[in-house]
Chain A
Amino acid sequence: MNKYKKITLDGLIYQNPTFMLVLGTCPTLGLISSAFSAMGMGLTVVVILTLSNILISALRKVIPNAVRIPCYIVIIATLVTFARMFLEKFVPDLYDSLGGFLALIVVNCIILGRAEAFANKHTVPEAAVDGFMQGLGFTVALTLMGIICEFIGKGSLFGYQIMDFKVGMLAKPAGSFLVYGICIAVFTYVIDCIERAKRVKANKLARENLLREVA
């Protein structure tokens, strides 16, 4: 069970695709001006990433090494096309707000990256959990930044107007860059502090043990 816990923590925190690896930046910057589209993009990626990880992991022994990248691209492109049809039919609002970025999920480095780095080396359940957690990490990060940008940039949350005060810049690409940059900085700083505290504690324990042994 420890294995899955590690995959989960990696996906959400230590290898968070948005804040730690800084992958999939184009849809992130393009869509965080609205919390709704940011979350929609995140959830779409969760589904596509989980499915692509499962498929690629299941086919990892069938696909010859030489043509693996083209095969992955075809599988991902198929899933994206399917997602596009599905959203257009059943969630047209989200389909409209994602715009061109929906098709660009194909070239989102997170998906091909996870296929290459994880799915083709692990079993199906592990790959599925990894895909889901990485996607979830992406979704949480996007939604968080979407809320910040939309609240300050438009004075609304998920489309509901809350206040009149707004800083229009934050709803533009310039603001997206700024918020994304600051969020990465804060995230890495906090992780850094926690790690350091852990290390200090471990060192202290080690020293106490040593002292006790010496005594």
Chain B
Amino acid sequence: MTVKGFFKSNVFKCLVTLLCVLLVSGVFLTIMNGLLAVSDQERLDRAINKIYGRSVAYTEVTVENYNDNANIEAAYRIKDDGNYLIKSTGFGGFDNGSVTCWVVVNVSGGAVKGIDKVVIDSNKGQSYIANINDNFLSGFYGEYKGDFSANEGFIKTGATRSATAICNAVNGAVDYVNGKWLGNVTVDIYADFELTEYIETKKTSHEIDEGGNIVYNIVTKGHTMPSGFTVKVTVSAEGIITAYSIVNNGSSPASYADKMKPDILDGTLFVGKDFAGIQAIINEGITYPGDDKGTTISTGATQSNYLCVYAAAFATKNYQNCLDLEGGDAEGGDE
């Protein structure tokens, strides 16, 4: 076939037609792509408007974390009503998985007023997540009274671990709003203290008076049986306990409270003792001695006794840490 013949042949015509069609399509689509491309910003706007239910203006904020059980992925402040939209991943779900939620935190008058909306974004390994329905999520809505726990105030779902992860995500979002913008809580000031294993560091507080006495309000975590105790402990300048009283007895059921050691119940066991004195009651490392009879605190309510001793140990051991904390605060100003 000659060159001239090729240009007149059917093959050439076919090729030209196909190439023309391709070229026209390519050019058309390139122009359309330029006109219709959806930018990342637009995608984000859409996602946020969808969750919020109406179109809103917002500012994005950099993210820090205030809570061990949740990871804040992204945070936005809605301009017109001052609420916050937080994307938060809660841990502690089924099989160590996690749930990522969008949480709308309603803020008014400088305080967290409540949760307006929780939308589940994604999850890792939560096979029963379908059991979490709108009825469950509406348990978060309304006035904010304190951290959510999957065991209280919620419809039982059949996906308790996933529910725990969601609670953690929501708590994380609230902590974040509180800490980052409202300055209320809760940078964990006791994080570097010793003996914090059984102490709810975020709920615990202390005051120092002029005489160098520290008055703690210690909230302990629960042990296997009892839930947390609230204990008021005063430690004097020499690191010696001068007053000890149980504000809230977490021993459950209540009948166990009767089995606690009487001098722990009224606090006389601890008064006048320093940290070494507390160690003498229990052991060197303030570890749980086990339920065996024969240890000094085994009375049939060993765990409750142990938590009380632990609180006393925490108070005496960290006396100096508390004083350092105040000093550090004074230097650092309001930061």
**Partner-B contacts on A (CB < 8 A):** 62-64, 66-67, 70-71, 74-75, 77-78, 81-82, 85-86, 88-89, 92
Contacts and interface: CB of A to CB of B under 8 A. Distances in A.
- Listed from nearest, the 8 A-B pairs whose CB atoms lie closest are A78-B25, A85-B36, A67-B14, A89-B36, A64-B14, A67-B18, A71-B21, A74-B21
Contact of B22 (A64, A74, A81, A82): A74
Nearest to B130: A168
B14 A82 contact: no
B13 A64 contact: yes
Given A88-B38, A92-B46, A70 B18 contact: yes
A62 B14 CA distance: 10
B17 interface: yes
B2 interface: no
Contact residues on B (Cβ < 8 Å of other chain), bracket: 10 to 19
Given A88-B36, A88-B38, A62 B25 contact: no
Q: Give the one of B21, B25, B36, B38 with max A CB within 10 A.
A: B21
12 contacts: A63-B21, A64-B17, A67-B14, A67-B17, A67-B18, A70-B18, A71-B18, A71-B21, A78-B28, A82-B28, A85-B37, A89-B36
A81 B28 CA distance: 11
A66 B10 contact: yes
Dominant SS among interface residues on chain B: helix
B167 to A, nearest CB: 26
A67 B29 CA distance: 22
A70 to B, nearest CB: 6
A164 B238 CA distance: 68
A70 B21 CA distance: 10
B33 interface: yes
Given A82-B29, A92-B46, A64 B10 contact: yes
Dominant SS among interface residues on chain A: helix
Contacts of A67: 14-15, 17-18
B227 to A, nearest CB: 37
A89 B10 CA distance: 42
A62 B212 CA distance: 98
Contacts, number: 41
B21 A75 contact: yes
Nearest to A55: B21
A118 to B, nearest CB: 20
Interface in B7-49: 10, 13-15, 17-18, 21-22, 25, 28-29, 32-33, 36-38, 46
A86 B10 CA distance: 37
Given A74-B21, A74-B22, 4 more contacts: A67-B17, A71-B17, A78-B28, A82-B32
Nearest to A67: B14
Nearest to A72: B21
Q: Give the one of A63, A67, A70 with max B CB within 10 A.
A: A67
B29 A81 contact: yes
Contacts of A82: 28-29, 32
B57 to A, nearest CB: 19
A85 B25 contact: no
A82 B10 CA distance: 31
Contacts of B32: 82, 85
A78 B30 CA distance: 11
Nearest to A168: B130
A64 B10 CA distance: 8
Contact of B25 (A64, A75, A89): A75
B24 to A, nearest CB: 8
A57 B18 CA distance: 16
Given A74-B22, A78-B28, A66 B36 contact: no
Nearest to B25: A78
Contacts of B13: 64
Interface in B99-119: none
A85 B17 contact: no
Contact of B17 (A63, A86, A89): A63
B231 to A, nearest CB: 49
A108 B13 CA distance: 28
Nearest to B29: A81
Contacts of A71: 17-18, 21
A88 B15 CA distance: 34
Contacts of B21: 63, 71, 74-75
A71 B28 CA distance: 15
A66 B25 contact: no
A91 to B, nearest CB: 11
A100 to B, nearest CB: 18
Contacts of A74: 18, 21-22, 25
A194 to B, nearest CB: 43
